[in-house]
């Protein structure tokens, strides 16, 4: 559906000299940001005065990642369920699946500090990508 390419840097590594567990969430976020940017949107503007606020995340680690490896952070699916927008992610290093996970966000108006309905324009964008 959408791919963000990234090369593992020193700051991504932990004491075990492999990618730290917290980095998966950053990689997922960077992929979402690139997806939005590619569609003239941002984390603070997905339409109708709303941005994203994250409410939940899951991560499953399959393989270690190391310095200078090139990875592909894929958004494999975006699902809208009521107010929730669920991004499904996979991270590959070559042909090896290294990490999978999800990020659940809501449409949120930061000025009003309120959860909003998912903008129609964003729903249409997701439908176009999913079809």
Average pLDDT of the residues of the chain: 97
**For residue 98, what is the domain's CATH number?**
3.10.129.10
More confident residue, 56 or 131: 56
**Structural domain for 83, as ranges:** 2-116
Mean pLDDT of 69-78: 98
With respect to residue 97, please indicate whether it lies within any of the assigned structural domains: yes
- The percent of residues in the chain predicted with pLDDT above 70, rounded, is 100
- The predicted structure's pLDDT at residue 64: 97
The answer to whether 37 touches 86, Cβ cutoff 8 Å, is: no
* Sequence-distant (≥ 6) Cβ neighbours of residue 71 within 8 angstroms: 5, 6, 7, 8, 27, 65, 91, 92, 93, 98
Q: Is 53 in contact with 128 (CB distance < 8 Å)?
A: no
What DSSP line would sit under 15-66, residue for residue? TTSSB-TTHHHHHHHHHHHHHHHHTT-BTTBSBTTBEEEEEEEEEEE-S---
What is d(CA 120, CA 20) in angstroms, rounded to the nearest whole number?
A: 37
**Domain total in the chain:** 1
Tell me whether residue 121 is in a domain.
no
Pairing mode of beta strands 70-81, 96-109 = unpaired
- Determine, yes or no, domain membership for 122: no
Whether pLDDT at 104 is above 90: yes
pLDDT at 131: 76
Would residue 26 count as lying in a domain? yes
| Residue 91 counted as domain residue | yes
Q: CA 11, CA 23: separation in Å to the nearest integer? A: 10
The predicted pLDDT at position 56 comes to 98
Cβ-based neighbour number of residue 81 at 10 Å: 9
Residue 90 forms part of a structural domain:
yes
Confidence category of residue 123, pLDDT binned at 50, 70, 90:
very high
* 21 in any annotated domain: yes
Q: Does 124 fall in a domain? A: no
């Amino acid at each position: 559906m959408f791919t963000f390419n990234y090369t593992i840097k020193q700051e991504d590594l932990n004491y075990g000299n492999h990618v730290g567990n917290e980095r998966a969430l950053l990689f997922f976020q960077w992929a979402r940001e690139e997806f939005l940017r590619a569609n003239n949107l941002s984390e603070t503007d997905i339409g109708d005065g709303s941005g994203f606020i994250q409410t939940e995340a899951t991560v499953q680690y399959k393989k270690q990642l190391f310095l200078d490896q090139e990875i592909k952070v894929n958004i494999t699916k975006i699902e809208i369920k009521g107010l929730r927008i669920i991004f499904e992610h996979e991270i590959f290093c070559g042909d090896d699946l290294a990490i999978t996970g999800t990020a659940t966000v809501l449409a949120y108006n930061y000025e009003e500090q309120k959860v909003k309905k998912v903008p129609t324009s964003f729903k249409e964008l997701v439908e176009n990508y999913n079809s």
